[in-house]
Structure 1
């Protein structure tokens, strides 16, 4: 097996991904390590509910979370979800793709900068995330600590204008 040097990151809808790929991804304990709201078992029903909820965001807001592909292969999901008047950015990669976070995020942020609906992006990160250098290099600034569904998160903001 050769070393892959070029990454072609593309976004598609979650409905285009085999649900077993998502189940396998979200069942990995390395993924759950930084997801305090992940307190249930990912099975067919949980995955169907997840994809339905993410599609509802697309229908309601015209934007939502994507499936992320690297050279055509599913490596995770992420994108923008409207929370009140704010567009929150989230990213959940497979452990084999953890190193692609900055590359995927830069592409998503470029999308946000080109979209007049998104004057700024928020990021909610659990306090367990200690390596925040990439977020700061992107220009995001710390806003506050918030509680969401009973868990504490660090809220950052990045202006896109």
Structure 2
């Protein structure tokens, strides 16, 4: 049985993950429930475009999304995306690895706190999410509801210096 709450977490770049593994992850129907922008079917071309867009963020902003590995096994992706003047943190884990979320988030936030470009981090959460204690226990505060690319999200903010 996979214990998704233990094991060394490492960050890699998305091009290091096999296309088939990314496609299987992103095609899992359990993800679509919490991803309102996921309104299409994944195929190899979509995966290639997705990885290219995430890598372009690294080129443009010097920071972007990683693949997350636990004991060398791919468990999901996420990271920081520049939205105007803000750095938004997102995390998309394989459903069998949701328990790794807090450890990955803590590690990513430690990275943000060491980066002088990031005074605070935002989180855009889908309204389908019903538990927010993990965010508020980190010190994140609710900012309000926003429209992002035609979908409603709940926005939280966390000062990086906390």
Query: Do these two structures clear the TM 0.5 threshold for a shared fold by scoring above it?
Result: yes
For the 8 Å contact 2:19–2:47, the answer to whether it is kept is yes
- State the Cα distance separating 1:68 from its structure 2 match: 0.4
- State the Cα distance separating 1:6 from its structure 2 match: 3.7
The superposition leaves residues 38-77 of structure 1 with CA deviations (integer Å, 9 ceiling, x where unpaired) of 0000110110000000000000000000000000010000
| Cα distance change of structure 1 residues 60 and 5 upon mapping to structure 2, 3 Å threshold | closer
- State the Cα distance separating 1:5 from its structure 2 match: 7.3
The equivalent residue for 1:12 is 12
Distance 1:144 1:23 in 2: 32
For the 8 Å contact 2:6–2:100, the answer to whether it is kept is no
| Cα distance change of structure 1 residues 150 and 5 upon mapping to structure 2, 3 Å threshold | closer
Paired residue secondary structure (2:155): strand
The equivalent residue for 1:137 is 137
TM-score norm. by structure 1 comes to 0.96
Paired residue secondary structure (2:36): coil
The equivalent residue for 2:102 is 102
The equivalent residue for 1:22 is 22
- State the Cα distance separating 1:3 from its structure 2 match: 6.1
Distance 2:102 2:31 in 1: 17
| Cα distance change of structure 1 residues 116 and 129 upon mapping to structure 2, 3 Å threshold | same
Aligned residues: 161
Distance 1:105 1:85 in 2: 21
Q: Which runs of 5+ in 1 are unaligned?
A: none
The equivalent residue for 1:37 is 37
Distance 1:59 1:27 in 2: 27
Cα RMSD, aligned residues only = 1.4
